[in-house]
């Protein structure tokens, strides 16, 4: 049965839903659009007011979906949802990313929110970002004039600021295959069990030499500075050792610059970051 | 640039649909406003509450975050699709049986999230249920009954709802339950005027304190074709003032040149919905002159200018209860303890934001909106419109949670004025930020208290002063100031007492009524003192309380002798085995603990006077009988989810002598029911329940006397009428010979009850309440010492409710109160202007409420209907202090700044090292 019902007028604005990347980037070149993926960041930012931007809905771009293993490593399409991440068959390298995926919002958010949207929204509390840093990931951006790749650290620049030009689309995140067997972990701290924005979170990945010592490590802390940061001094010190939480020092937090906000004080964030880093290292053992 | 609405084809509940709407329109709005499927609820439009949860291609999503453009060609399932061919889905009947729907506003979302789970995982574990439902917030139930219902639906046993036997004391399924689990109950935003309507949106102050002037509003209006009117203070036909107390009407509908709080309404835009939503507050010509805000500190220091001329020094009012000589007794007490605590603003966070519409009908007005207090609304609207109360009709919708927050007027005056002025129906739905920013809160309190006892642990004296931040307007500030002193020493015998309170104005959000009227804050202080004194004496914390617990025939600090129904000792004795076992377990756990996790067990007692403090608060009810035997209860008591609809029916049925299923219910409409007062102060079961009982008795007497039947005759509904069996006589009274009234009733039973109280003198002496509820709760917590996080692992609650009219509903109140108590203790703190959404203002989720064991104590209250008292507010009061006692047991740290967020607790743990 077909019911034809008419809306209450409503605030319709320009809305495009291309099915090819070419169409999408052509639209981005032609005029300023707000890109719409899962909408889980976009709609909450527009409560009580009509959406007054022109929308480019990229959810029809099948080329942006899926998680696949490639020759160099893994490719996560920008439209991969958190649900896709935690249900994907991935090696222990991704244990942290998958743990993060299970804790983004509730299942409703995990079914809709995308990894691309999380990166492009560039919230200091985005749970994806420290994981991508720990995974040494790069983003792939495409515009009508070509494509480029950037390490995540050079892509996320500040609170809600990225290196994405307005005519570019984030199409994928690439994770290189590690040289050694690797394991990841993620520790998120919030004030309630579900639906919680991180007060602080830590992602860690270590690659292990044949003798079980750490060949290389990447540790990133989120929500304790405008952008999640890696901790180079600690990463260096871990090399050649077995995972040992006691090597963590307060000076390792030098790259962080936490603030006081509704969720916690800056001093607490530092203190909790130390605890979470130690636990993350213990997880890797 | 706007594009026209476009056709979108998709499948809704198995039917092909073509909906014409702009592609970026939220699916929730399309379902509700275009397709008329109002079962999908909207609580935030931001993904935070999950009330809008629907399935898209079988997977749960928030419909408020999905543009309709993205569901083209896909399958959408909503709560309306759950029941098939008139048969409830297994989840729906399990929800009914378990009482898993209270107000019901979260229920459609919960059901859809659960349906998603059961399709993926036909027999889920409890952990899987929590994960699947973790994205839907519920403010009423405390979640445990929802978890039980989902598990039962999955693992079998969920057949049709068994009809209950008997009335009072049975687990009758709520009378409005089917409407709630099928999504057909109509809440504020679901009630849409039949005639073409206008939308209203208030323009609000961006400053907490400022003076302002309007520019040329007329010219502005003329530039916006869809704008019909801009209403300001000048458009208020009657008094531009409202407030709870006749002498405290200090809040303007629209500010007059000065605002005293963030978000105060200065004018309202009335027009078509699209236009009104598109105009930004900044676009309206208003010149602002910001003034320094007045904080709680400023106001207490006395350094701030007066916000209101009638409140010099920004002191709205004071309260006091004194007996004996507390100062002298404290000075000579062998053991003393003191405590100073500070609590925060707490938001009610009902999942339904305020909503409703108003319609002018001739020289009267009808308001259809969510409210806890139809008759007070009626009288206030009459003053604001300058018309007699009889010309105002309030028709309450179902209420999606209230907890005190829907006692005050919110949007009703604005829509009433708009409908009055324009002659057209006017509708308004608050956004979540608007609801949080502008409606009342729990009072932040600063309480300093001191108690002393003798060597045997008998309390000798208690002294306390509490300052309460009542915000910009009076609201229920005086109630808090007068209720707290009566309760502040806790449910104990204390011969020497001095308690003083003050309600202080600031430029913060008004603090008003919230489950307990200040008593939960005071309980945190008195219970900390009980723990401290017990520890000092080396006495068990439960035994210390038991030694001092109020008993039958004891006298309270106000001089009231408690003749009946003082079940605290029974509560503590019921808890004792759990207490001892849990304490021992926790201590054993800690002895063997290596990591940072420590367990602790705490206990707290509470008491709570039922009904208004030392004020008359009558309820009236009628029970009507039609010639065909139809029995109708006309109840003015609004059910805000707690279940009063069901309780009133049970009581009336018992008193009249029929099964509850035979009674029909008309609720709230001021044109059809009598005044049953407000749904607050835990008074509906006790006060209105008594009125329902008396109405039942009255109708029974009238009916039986028609046939000269004896008082224990049986009334039996039969097709087309009633039969009366008296011994071996069976009679059928001829009801058709009586004239029917406007409701069609031929006989009407009437009941009125006003709890016997007296006024209090200057020392607070007198009988403030007719009866008190008592209770005690145990919390088991685990604290992560390194992170300062606290998890509540278990709660045991013993409550003396007099008589449980419906045990399922009573348990539901206790579960829900405990959940709110956990929030108050650990996470809830509203900071005006900073966290007015459910993303940053945190309330407990399904994963934060542990298993709860409820022990019901029934020390019958002779004044109560079939012995019942009340439980709505009592449920919450003991929770936070029990948690703080448990945290202290685990860590050695006493929390004094509330809530005990991880950063605060961690700082306290570090400071104590
Ligand atoms: C209740 C709730 C809880 C949440 N909890 C968490 C949490 O715990 N942790 C967390 O990290 N986040 C959380 N979020 C935020 C959000 O869900 C995630 O960031 C999500 O991954 C965003 O993806 P999206 O596809 O929905 O983004 P969208 O809202 O569609 O887009 C977000 C931004 O990115 C841009 N964008 C999206 N995709 C692209 C692209 N491919 N190329 C260029 N620009 C693009 C958009 O223009 C927009 O500015 C939560 C959100 C809600 C509502
Ligand atoms: S209304 Fe959609 S999540 Fe609250
Ligand atoms: S029943 Fe869940 S919010 Fe009321």
Q: Are B134 and A268 in contact (CB < 8 Å)? A: no
Q: Is the CB of B104 under 6 A from ligand 3?
A: yes
| Token pair belonging to B719 | 């097709």
Distance between CA atoms of residues B817 and B515, nearest Å: 8
Distance between CA atoms of residues B539 and B221, nearest Å: 72
Lowest mean pLDDT among B3-17, B597-611, B680-694: B3-17
Q: B58 to chain A: nearest residue by CA?
A: A111
Interchain contact B833–A (C-beta under 8 A): no
Q: How far is B130 from chain A (nearest CA, A)?
A: 9
Task: Ligand 2, residue B62: give the atom nearest the CA.
Answer: 2
| Token pair belonging to B580 | 């001892």
According to DSSP, the residues that pair with B886 across neighbouring strands are none
Under the banding of pLDDT at 50, 70 and 90, the label for residue B156 is: confident
Q: Are A49 and B135 in contact (CB < 8 Å)? A: no
pLDDT, tens digit (0-9, with 9 covering 90-100), for A232-276 = 999 999 999 999 999 999 999 999 999 999 999 999 999 999 999
CATH architecture of B441-612+762-912: 2-Layer Sandwich (3.30)
Contacts for B285 with CB less than 8 Å, ≥ 6 apart: B214, B215, B216, B217, B220
Fold of A182-284: Enolase-like; domain 1 (3.30.390)
Contacts for A131 with CB less than 8 Å, ≥ 6 apart: A96, A97, A100, A184, A186, A203, A220
Higher-confidence position of B681 and A117: A117
**Rg of chain B's alpha carbons, rounded to an integer?**
27
**Closest C-alpha residue for ligand 1 atom 50:** A105
According to DSSP, the residues that pair with B452 across neighbouring strands are B336, B461
pLDDT, tens digit (0-9, with 9 covering 90-100), for B264-277 = 999 999 999 999 99
Distance B844 CA to ligand 3 centre (A): 13
pLDDT, tens digit (0-9, with 9 covering 90-100), for B474-511 = 999 999 999 999 999 999 999 999 999 999 999 999 99
* CATH number, domain A2-57, options 3.30.1400, 3.30.43, 3.40.50, 1.10.30: 3.30.43
Nearest ligand, CA A130 = 1
Tell which A residues from 154 to 183 touch B, by Cβ distance under 8 Å.
none
Span B462-469, mean pLDDT?
98
Distance A42 CA to ligand 2 centre (A): 14
Nearest ligand, CA B103 = 3
Contacts of B113 in chain A (CB under 8 A): 107-108
> At residue B283, does pLDDT exceed 80?
yes
Tell which A residues from 70 to 99 touch B, by Cβ distance under 8 Å.
83
Handedness of CA B640, B676, B568, B99 (dihedral sign): negative
State chain B's mean pLDDT as an integer: 96
Contacts of B61 in chain A (CB under 8 A): 108, 111-112
Distance A263 CA to ligand 2 centre (A): 22
Q: Is the CB of B103 under 6 A from ligand 3?
A: yes
Q: What is the pLDDT of residue B852?
A: 98
Tokens 């492009």 found at: A120
Q: Are A108 and B272 in contact (CB < 8 Å)? A: no
**To test the ligand 3 pocket, which listed residue (B108, B114, B139) has its Cβ within 8 A of the most ligand atoms?**
B139
> At residue B300, does pLDDT exceed 70?
yes
Contacts of A105 in chain B (CB under 8 A): 47, 135
Element (H, E) at B433: helix B432-438
pLDDT, tens digit (0-9, with 9 covering 90-100), for A15-60 = 999 999 999 999 999 999 999 999 999 999 999 887 778 999 999 9
**B288-to-B283, B355, B757 alpha-carbon distances in Å:** 13, 29, 49
Interchain contact B498–A (C-beta under 8 A): no
Pocket (CB within 6 angstroms of ligand 2): B 42-45, 47-52, 62, 64
pLDDT, tens digit (0-9, with 9 covering 90-100), for B329-362 = 999 999 999 999 999 999 999 999 999 999 999 9
Q: Strand pairing of B198-204 and B426-429?
A: parallel
Q: What is the pLDDT of residue B4?
A: 63
Interchain contact A7–B (C-beta under 8 A): yes
Nearest residue to B886 via CA among B444, B582, B645: B582
Interchain contact B847–A (C-beta under 8 A): yes
Q: What is the pLDDT of residue B630?
A: 97
State chain A's mean pLDDT as an integer: 94
Nearest ligand, CA A163 = 1
**Closest C-alpha residue for ligand 2 atom 3:** B47
Higher-confidence position of B3 and B15: B15
Distance between CA atoms of residues A128 and A152, nearest Å: 10
Under the banding of pLDDT at 50, 70 and 90, the label for residue B166 is: confident
Residue among A13, A191, A267 whose CB faces B1 most closely: A13
What DSSP string runs through B95-113?
A: HHHHT--SS-SSHHHHHHH
Contacts of B17 in chain A (CB under 8 A): 2-3, 5
Q: B202 to chain A: nearest residue by CA?
A: A48
Task: Ligand 2, residue B135: give the atom nearest the CA.
Answer: 3
Interchain contact A15–B (C-beta under 8 A): yes
Distance B140 CA to ligand 3 centre (A): 4
Contact B552, B862 (CB under 8 A): no
Q: Are B844 and A105 in contact (CB < 8 Å)? A: no
In terms of CATH, what superfamily is B1-163? Answer: Beta-grasp domain (3.10.20.30)
Q: What is the pLDDT of residue B568?
A: 98
Q: Are B834 and A4 in contact (CB < 8 Å)? A: no
Q: A42 to chain B: nearest residue by CA?
A: B65
In the structure, how many helices (H) and strands (E) does chain A have? 9, 15
CATH architecture of B619-753: 2-Layer Sandwich (3.30)
Interchain contact B45–A (C-beta under 8 A): yes
Q: B59 to chain A: nearest residue by CA?
A: A111
Distance between CA atoms of residues B785 and B911, nearest Å: 12
Q: How far is B885 from chain A (nearest CA, A)?
A: 20
Nearest residue to A171 via CA among A127, A124, A115, A100: A115
Q: What is the pLDDT of residue A180?
A: 97
CATH architecture of A63-176: 2-Layer Sandwich (3.30)
The 3-state secondary structure of B669-687, one letter per residue: CCCCCCCCCCCCCCCHHHH
Interchain contact B340–A (C-beta under 8 A): no
Element (H, E) at B700: helix B689-706
Under the banding of pLDDT at 50, 70 and 90, the label for residue B164 is: low
Nearest ligand, CA A106 = 1
Spell out the domain ranges in chain B.
Answer: 1-163, 198-292+352-400+406-438, 441-612+762-912, 619-753
Tell which B residues from 779 to 798 touch A, by Cβ distance under 8 Å.
786-789
Q: How far is B821 from chain A (nearest CA, A)?
A: 14
Q: How far is A32 from chain B (nearest CA, A)?
A: 12
Span B560-584, mean pLDDT?
97
Q: Are B29 and A10 in contact (CB < 8 Å)? A: yes
Interchain contact B273–A (C-beta under 8 A): yes
Span B137-151, mean pLDDT?
98
Nearest residue to B53 via CA among B79, B90, B19: B79
Task: Ligand 2, residue B838: give the atom nearest the CA.
Answer: 4
Q: How far is A2 from chain B (nearest CA, A)?
A: 5
CATH architecture of B198-292+352-400+406-438: Alpha-Beta Complex (3.90)
> At residue B23, does pLDDT exceed 80?
yes
Q: Are A12 and B29 in contact (CB < 8 Å)? A: no
Spell out the domain ranges in chain A.
Answer: 2-57, 63-176, 182-284
């Amino acid at each position: 049965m077909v019911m034809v019902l008419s809306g209450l007028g409503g605030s319709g604005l320009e809305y495009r839903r291309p099915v090819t990347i070419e169409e999408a980037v052509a639209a981005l070149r032609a005029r300023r659009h707000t890109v719409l993926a899962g909408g889980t960041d976009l709609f909450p930012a527009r409560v009580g007011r009509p959406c007054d931007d022109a929308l480019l809905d990229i959810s029809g771009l099948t080329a942006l979906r899926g998680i696949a293993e490639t020759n160099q490593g893994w490719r996560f399409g920008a439209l991969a949802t958190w649900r896709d991440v935690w249900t994907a068959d991935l090696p222990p390298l991704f244990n942290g990313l998958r743990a993060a995926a299970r804790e983004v919002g509730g299942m409703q958010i995990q079914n809709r929110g995308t990894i691309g949207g999380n990166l492009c929204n560039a919230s200091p509390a985005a749970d994806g970002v420290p994981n991508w840093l720990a995974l040494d990931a790069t983003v792939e951006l495409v515009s009508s004039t070509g494509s480029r790749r950037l390490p995540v650290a050079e892509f996320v620049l500040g609170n809600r600021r990225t290196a994405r030009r307005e005519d570019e689309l984030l199409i994928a995140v690439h994770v290189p295959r590690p040289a050694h067997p690797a394991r990841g972990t993620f520790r998120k701290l919030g004030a309630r069990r579900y639906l919680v924005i991180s007060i602080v979170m830590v992602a860690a990945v270590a690659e292990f030499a044949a003798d079980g010592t750490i060949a290389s490590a990447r540790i990133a802390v989120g929500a304790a500075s405008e952008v999640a940061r890696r901790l180079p001094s600690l990463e260096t010190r871990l090399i050649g050792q077995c995972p040992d939480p006691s090597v963590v020092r307060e000076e390792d937090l030098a790259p962080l610059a936490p603030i006081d906000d509704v969720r916690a004080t800056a001093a607490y964030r530092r203190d909790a970051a130390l605890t979470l880093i130690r636990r993350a290292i213990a997880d890797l053992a | 640039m706007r594009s026209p609405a476009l056709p979108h084809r998709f499948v809704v509940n198995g039917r092909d649909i073509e909906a014409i709407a702009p592609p970026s329109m939220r699916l929730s709005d399309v379902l509700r406003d275009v397709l008329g499927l109002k079962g999908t609820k909207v609580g935030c439009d931001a993904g935070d509450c999950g009330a809008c949860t629907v399935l898209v291609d079988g997977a749960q999503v928030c419909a408020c975050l999905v543009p309709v453009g993205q569901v083209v060609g896909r399958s959408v399932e909503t709560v309306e699709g759950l029941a098939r061919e008139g048969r409830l889905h297994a989840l729906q009947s399990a929800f009914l049986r378990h009482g898993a729907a209270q107000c019901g506003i979260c229920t459609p979302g919960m059901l859809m999230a659960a349906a998603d789970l059961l399709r993926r995982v036909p027999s889920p574990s409890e952990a899987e249920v929590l994960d699947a439902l973790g994205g839907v917030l519920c403010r009423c139930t405390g979640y445990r009954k929802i978890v039980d219902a989902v598990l039962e639906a999955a693992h079998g046993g969920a057949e049709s709802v068994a009809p209950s036997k008997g009335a009072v004391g049975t687990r009758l399924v709520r009378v409005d339950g089917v409407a709630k689990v099928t999504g057909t109950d109509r809440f504020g935003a679901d009630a849409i005027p039949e005639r073409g309507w206008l939308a209203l949106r208030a323009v609000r102050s961006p400053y907490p304190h400022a003076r302002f002037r309007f520019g040329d509003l007329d010219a502005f209006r003329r530039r916006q074709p869809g704008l019909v009117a801009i209403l300001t203070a000048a458009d208020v036909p009657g008094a531009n003032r409202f407030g709870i107390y006749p002498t405290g009407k200090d809040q303007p509908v629209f500010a007059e040149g000065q605002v005293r709080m963030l978000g105060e309404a200065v004018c309202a835009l009335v027009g078509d919905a699209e236009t009104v939503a598109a105009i930004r507050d900044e676009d309206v010509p208003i010149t602002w002159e910001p003034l320094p805000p007045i904080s709680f500190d400023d106001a207490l220091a006395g350094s701030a200018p007066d916000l209101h001329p009638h409140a010099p020094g920004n002191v709205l009012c004071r309260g006091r209860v004194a007996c004996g000589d507390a100062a002298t007794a404290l000075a000579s007490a062998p053991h003393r303890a003191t405590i100073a605590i500070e609590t925060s603003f707490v938001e009610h966070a009902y999942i339904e934001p305020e909503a409703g519409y108003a319609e002018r009908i001739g020289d009267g007005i009808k308001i259809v909106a969510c409210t806890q207090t139809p008759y007070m609304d009626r009288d206030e609207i009459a003053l604001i419109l300058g018309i007699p109360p009889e010309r105002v009709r309030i028709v309450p919708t179902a209420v999606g949670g209230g907890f005190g927050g829907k006692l005050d007027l919110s949007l009703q005056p604005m829509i009433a004025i708009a409908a009055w002025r324009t002659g057209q129906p006017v509708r308004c739905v608050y956004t979540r930020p608007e609801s949080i920013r502008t409606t009342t809160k729990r009072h932040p309190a600063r309480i300093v208290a001191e108690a002393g006892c003798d060597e045997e642990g008998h309390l000798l004296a208690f002294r306390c002063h509490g300052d309460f931040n009542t915000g910009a307007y009076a609201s229920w500030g005086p109630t808090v100031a007068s209720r707290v002193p009566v309760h502040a020493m806790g449910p104990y015998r204390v011969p020497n007492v001095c308690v003083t309170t003050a309600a202080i104005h600031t430029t913060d959000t008004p603090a008003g009524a919230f489950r307990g009227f200040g008593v939960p804050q005071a309980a945190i202080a008195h219970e900390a003192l009980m723990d401290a004194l017990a520890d000092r004496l080396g006495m068990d914390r439960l035994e210390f309380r038991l030694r001092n617990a109020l008993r039958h025939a004891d006298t309270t600090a106000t001089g009231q002798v408690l003749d009946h129904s003082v079940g605290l000792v029974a509560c503590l004795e019921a808890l004792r085995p759990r207490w001892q076992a849990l304490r021992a377990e926790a201590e054993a756990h800690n002895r063997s603990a290596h990591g940072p996790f420590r367990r602790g067990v705490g206990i707290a007692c509470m008491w709570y006077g039922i009904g208004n403090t030392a004020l008359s608060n009558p309820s009236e009810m009628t029970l009507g009988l039609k010639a065909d035997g139809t029995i109708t209860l006309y109840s003015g008591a609004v059910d805000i989810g707690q279940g009063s609809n069901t309780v009133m029916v049970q009581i009336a049925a018992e008193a009249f002598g029929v099964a509850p299923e035979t009674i029909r219910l008309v609720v709230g409409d001021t044109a059809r029911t009598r005044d049953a007062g407000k749904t607050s102060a835990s008074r509906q079961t006790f006060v209105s329940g008594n009125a329902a009982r008396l109405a039942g008795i009255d109708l029974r007497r009238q009916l039986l006397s028609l046939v000269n039947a004896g008082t224990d005759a049986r009334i039996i509904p039969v097709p087309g009428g009633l039969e009366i069996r008296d011994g071996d006589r069976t009679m059928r009274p001829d009801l058709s010979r009586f004239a029917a009234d406007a409701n069609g009733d031929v006989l009407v039973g009437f009941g009125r009850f006003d709890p016997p109280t007296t006024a209090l003198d200057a020392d607070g002496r007198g009988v403030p309440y007719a009866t008190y509820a008592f209770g005690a709760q145990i919390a088991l917590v685990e604290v992560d010492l390194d992170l300062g996080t606290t998890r509540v692992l278990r709660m045991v609650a013993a409550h003396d409710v007099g008589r449980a009219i419906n045990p399922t509903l009573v348990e539901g109140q206790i579960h829900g109160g405990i959940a709110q108590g956990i929030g108050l203790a650990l996470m809830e703190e509203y900071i005006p202007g900073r966290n007015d959404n459910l993303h940053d203002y945190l309330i407990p989720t399904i994963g934060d409420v542990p298993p709860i064991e409820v022990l019901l104590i029934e020390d019958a209250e002779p004044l109560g209907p079939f012995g019942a008292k009340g439980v709505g507010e009592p449920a919450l009061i003991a929770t936070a202090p029990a948690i703080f006692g448990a945290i202290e047991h685990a860590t050695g740290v006493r929390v004094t700044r509330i809530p005990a967020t991880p950063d605060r607790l961690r700082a306290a743990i570090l400071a104590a090292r």
